[in-house]
């Protein structure tokens, strides 16, 4: 069997590209894959090339690595396109989103998925994703796009609305990652869990979450999770040892909703109106909400990467364990026909009955030589669907703003955001959006500020 061409757009994100391509090189059928690394930053691109080349040789892979700063050239003949970039970067754009929102009294934790920060990121990002789709239609129309770019739901929605012919799926590690965390909280092997999960990206819930017993049968772990939380045995410290973050928000929502949500507490806290409010430091303390978490992570990761790069330069080899990311599994299944099951973000076409039929949902997908095929869930509990709808409203309006070039929809999206509406009045929301649109002018489509 011939080997695929895998194009990585945003390859200057060396830590992420290292994890994804390490997984690829672990697959026997992909060890000779042709890798096209593309980024607009030549220095970071060369850093990635150095690391990936050493990683490939360390695991006995012998494919070809090529570097590009021209996107269309990198995409020519690609079988798979992995997308992982951040338009505007940590500086200046993410810093701007946090600083201006804070000036208005709107506190954030991550600001990459929903809320005013998520809306601004969507406005900066979606036009660039559309450009990738344009190039793919011209030079690799049969390729499958694996999209890792946030805000995931808005980005994926915007692409399947404007480019329905592009084969694409939005990927996140929150479903499988949270399952591992919960198994750890109960001292279980995560491989002994089975689950059905459904919803929208960063707000999907485990509709069934069970552990395997000695006799081979399965039983729900929800009673065990609640008992562990009430006794103080859960949540345990995070696997990444981040002292600022914990799972109190999600465990409290489990108590109220009866189901566990897939994305972290620091994320979930800003998707709802309950946890971050002006002049309510008691809520921040009670639920241990890490305000400004994303900027802090960026600073730490930049510093850590400089140290890691020096270590990689000195090391004779680079060996990485397989990660929990789905990209290599999808590529291997489509290329070899080996079936697998992943969770992906796709268009809701008769998948979840009580969510809008055109929104972006996250469900289990079957993958083989026929591609990625989402599985039908049916109706989910109505209170979960109602909570998701508050986020879908924002996703729809922000996406519609770009699809129809309707500036008003940007304000409407911010107005309907649960966290923003709980913190600010209407005039404050409009003024905040105005100021951010001006600050991001160089990163936005021209029609927005005309």
Q: Is 140 annotated as a binding residue?
A: no
Q: How far is CA 115 from CA 202, 392, 397, 421, 432, in A?
A: 13, 12, 12, 10, 12
Tokens of 110: 């991550």
pLDDT of 176 above 70: yes
Q: Is the pLDDT of residue 173 over 90?
A: yes
What is the Cα–Cα distance from 98 to 115, expressed in whole angstroms?
Answer: 11
The count of C-alpha atoms lying within 13 angstroms of the C-alpha of 44, restricted to the half-sphere facing its C-beta, is: 18
For residue 141, pLDDT over 70 is answered with: yes
SS3 per-residue string spanning 223-285: HHHHHHHHHCCCCCCCCCCCCCCCCHHHHHHHHHHCCCECCCHHHHCCCCCCCCCCCCHHHHH
For tokens 């400004």, the residue is 292
Predicted pLDDT of residue 1: 54
pLDDT for res 134 = 98
| pLDDT tens by residue, 239-275 | 888 889 999 999 999 999 999 999 999 999 999 999 9
What distance in Å separates the CA atoms of residue 16 and residue 308, rounded to the nearest whole number? 13
Q: Catalytic residue at 173?
A: yes
190 appears as a binding residue in the annotation: no
Q: 297-317, pLDDT tens digit by residue?
A: 999 988 888 898 899 889 989
Residues 6 or more apart whose CB falls under 8 angstroms from that of 396 comprise 157, 356, 359
Catalytic choice (26, 173, 419, 440): 173
| pTM, entire model | 0.97
Residue 202 known to bind ligand:
yes
At residue 2, the pLDDT reads: 86
């Amino acid at each position: 069997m011939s080997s695929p061409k895998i194009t990585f757009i945003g390859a200057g994100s060396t830590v992420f590209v290292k994890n994804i391509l390490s997984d690829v090189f672990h697959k026997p059928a992909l060890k000779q894959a042709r890798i096209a690394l593309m980024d607009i930053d030549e220095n970071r691109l060369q850093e990635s090339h150095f690391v990936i080349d050493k990683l490939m040789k360390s695991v006995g892979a012998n494919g070809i690595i090529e570097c590009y700063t021209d996107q269309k050239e990198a995409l020519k003949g690609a079988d798979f396109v992995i997308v992982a970039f951040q338009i505007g970067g940590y500086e200046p754009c993410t810093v701007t989103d946090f600083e201006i929102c804070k000036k208005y009294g709107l506190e954030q934790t991550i600001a990459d998925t929903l809320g005013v920060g998520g809306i601004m990121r969507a406005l900066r990002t979606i036009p660039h994703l559309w450009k990738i789709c344009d190039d793919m239609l011209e030079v690799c129309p049969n390729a499958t796009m694996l999209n890792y770019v946030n805000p995931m739901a808005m980005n994926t929605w915007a692409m399947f609305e404007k480019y329905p012919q592009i084969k694409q799926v939005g990927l996140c590690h929150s479903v499988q990652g949270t399952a591992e965390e919960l198994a750890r909280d109960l001292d279980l092997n995560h491989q002994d869990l089975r689950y059905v999960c459904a919803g929208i990206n960063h707000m999907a819930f485990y509709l069934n979450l069970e552990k395997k017993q000695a006799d081979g049968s399965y039983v729900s772990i929800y009673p065990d999770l609640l008992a562990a939380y009430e006794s103080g045995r859960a949540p345990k410290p995070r696997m990444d040892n981040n002292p600022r973050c914990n799972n109190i928000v999600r465990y409290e929502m489990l108590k109220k909703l009866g189901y566990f949500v897939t994305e972290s507490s620091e994320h979930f806290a800003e998707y709802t109106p309950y946890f971050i409010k002006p002049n309510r430091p008691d809520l921040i303390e009670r639920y241990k909400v890490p305000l400004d978490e994303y900027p802090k992570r960026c600073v730490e990761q930049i510093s850590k990467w400089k140290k890691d790069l020096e270590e990689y330069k000195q090391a004779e080899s680079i060996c990485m364990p397989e990660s929990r990311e789905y990209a290599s599994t999808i590529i291997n299944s489509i290329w070899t026909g080996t079936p697998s099951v992943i969770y992906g973000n796709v268009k809701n076409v008769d998948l979840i009955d009580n969510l809008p039929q055109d929104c972006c949902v996250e469900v289990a997908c079957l993958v083989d030589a026929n591609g990625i095929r989402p599985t039908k869930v049916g109706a989910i509990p109505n209170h979960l669907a109602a909570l998701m709808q508050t986020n879908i409203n924002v996703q729809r309006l922000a996406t519609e703003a770009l699809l129809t070039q309707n500036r008003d929809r940007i304000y409407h999206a911010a107005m309907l955001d649960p966290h923003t509406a709980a913190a600010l009045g209407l005039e404050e929301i409009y003024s905040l959006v105005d100021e951010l649109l001006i600050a991001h002018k160089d990163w936005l489509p021209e029609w927005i500020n005309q």
